[in-house]
Structure 1
């Protein structure tokens, strides 16, 4: 881990009670997982299970052990789980479009493998913090969205994440396994896989290419963009909370329009790119914003990075400032 990477997580790690643990991070060479590994590796034995299909070996911090393998392989999973105290389950097929194209693959990775992981965790008596998703809510009746609001996912990905969420809570209720599902909203930050076309990445790439930035529809749809560093904070809090068996939204509690996002990207990249509008993507959710009051009250979670600051930092990482 570089000195700069270490510095980024000093303040989070110093407030964390996660130390002297044997920790497994599935998908730990990927986006959120690699940032978690950086935050944990100085004070814990960190093990990473990743097949490197969406992550990279270069993202594994010095001091962490990489088990190269697939979370769907039960023998590999059992070996990676042996002797662990704490699991962060980040491995997933994160592309909504790919889940629509291949629902069985999405189900095997996002739902079925989660059941195998929870079974393995029962044998090890290990706490499991799981990456759920705001996609489980579908088109919300109103915003902000609270954990108890209706859930009607619009894609196989969302359905699979809802199954993961339910399994996590039922494993606590039925077997006493300590589980905490975290429902991520729109996460952004360094190392996000550009192949999955998250809108922040798309806009940065379009700005780098000189534009235009293409906004789908009228651009007045809203999203709650949360920086990966704040997602790490939520995971570390979930690792030590007494409030197990409960789900928590992880966002900022604020939303912006896609138009505003595009304008901010143009500003932070000092770009002269134009912003244009294209057809709306079928099934696109109109409004999304997290109610994070439960995470604030029960976990002590408090987002620390504004969208403008997060985008400015990301522009610098990408060499666009």
Structure 2
């Protein structure tokens, strides 16, 4: 397939390019400001993709400018979909990366795709708004929405939690400042997520949303215990109240049943293997 990719220079984009090219696909990177509709339209018109993977977004929940979430994640996505819908031939599949953060805090666990969304921050709200906006193009573009739960891997930015932990253990730092040690998250491997995206380009049903998850959660203490075991380094944890979010999502765990029913089993990569890989690349 000829895949048009946004966010090629980002963490997920770089790994997706590697996974896709290894699978024999050709990647065309859309390198343009998504908030500039004329520039997006001009570059898209010069392509004829078989499929599109839209990863470009502001993804750090703690980003200081709330308006930027909506400008990029919603309006930028709208500009892309408008440009794609104007192509002489529509792509066979358009994959839009949303987020499991749209579910917010909910009592049910693991979370299925029919769980009513309840976003608690601007990142999550912008992703949910993007999903609703995208449905206005459903009559023109065959879209699949993915809702990845937390994932990590080598090359993820240091502002994210797992790379921060890995960096401190790699440097054998004496202490680390953290927030809520008891929040539970999935910490899946970016390589699994990229494989799920490739599989959904082939098999995903247009108009459907799919959780990209494993159903396995960990606390920060669990992650630290694994890093301690790998490195034999003990680190002191100092809880910094500034890092404790008032609207923290306490447990975020999904069920992959719908995804695996569509694509079949995904690569099972243990968190220890992911952390070992990240330490080797640190």
Please indicate, yes or no, whether the TM-score normalized by the shorter chain is above 0.5.
Answer: yes
Equivalence for 2:119: 153
Aligned residues: 273
Task: Give the CA deviation at 1:242.
Answer: 4.8
Q: Does 1:83 align with 2:48?
A: yes
Task: Give the CA deviation at 1:290.
Answer: 1.1
- Conserved in 2, the CA contact under 8 Å of 1:183 and 1:248? yes
Equivalence for 1:22: 2
Task: Give the CA deviation at 1:253.
Answer: 1.0
Cα distance in structure 2, aligned partners of 1:151 and 1:260: 28
Task: Tell me the TM-score normalized by structure 2.
Answer: 0.90
Cα distance in structure 1, aligned partners of 2:178 and 2:227: 12
Q: Does 1:302 align with 2:256?
A: no
Q: CA RMSD in A?
A: 1.8
Task: Give the CA deviation at 1:152.
Answer: 1.1
Cα distance in structure 2, aligned partners of 1:301 and 1:35: 20
Question: In structure 2, do the counterparts of structure 1 residues 268 and 296 end up closer, same or farther at CA, with 3 Å as the change threshold?
Answer: same
Matches within 5 A, 1:278-293: 278-279=240-241, 280-293=244-257
Cα distance in structure 2, aligned partners of 1:131 and 1:94: 11
Equivalence for 1:144: 110
- Conserved in 1, the CA contact under 8 Å of 2:97 and 2:146? yes
Matches within 5 A, 1:1-321: 21-41=1-21, 43-50=24-31, 69-81=32-44, 82-98=47-63, 101-124=64-87, 125-126=90-91, 127-172=93-138, 175-194=139-158, 197-207=159-169, 208-217=171-180, 219-279=181-241, 280-318=244-282
Alignment gaps of 5+ in structure 1: 1-20, 51-68
- Conserved in 2, the CA contact under 8 Å of 1:23 and 1:84? yes
Task: Give the CA deviation at 1:86.
Answer: 1.2
Task: Give the CA deviation at 1:128.
Answer: 1.1
Task: Give the CA deviation at 1:270.
Answer: 3.2
Cα distance in structure 2, aligned partners of 1:215 and 1:267: 19
- Conserved in 2, the CA contact under 8 Å of 1:138 and 1:154? yes
Task: Give the CA deviation at 1:176.
Answer: 4.4
Alignment gaps of 5+ in structure 2: none
Task: Tell me the TM-score normalized by structure 1.
Answer: 0.80
- Conserved in 1, the CA contact under 8 Å of 2:60 and 2:160? no
* DSSP 3-state at the match of 1:87: strand
Q: Using CA pairs below 8 Å that are at least 6 residues apart, which structure has the higher relative contact order? A: 2
Question: In structure 2, do the counterparts of structure 1 residues 169 and 254 end up closer, same or farther at CA, with 3 Å as the change threshold?
Answer: farther
Task: Give the CA deviation at 1:169.
Answer: 4.0
Cα distance in structure 2, aligned partners of 1:178 and 1:77: 19
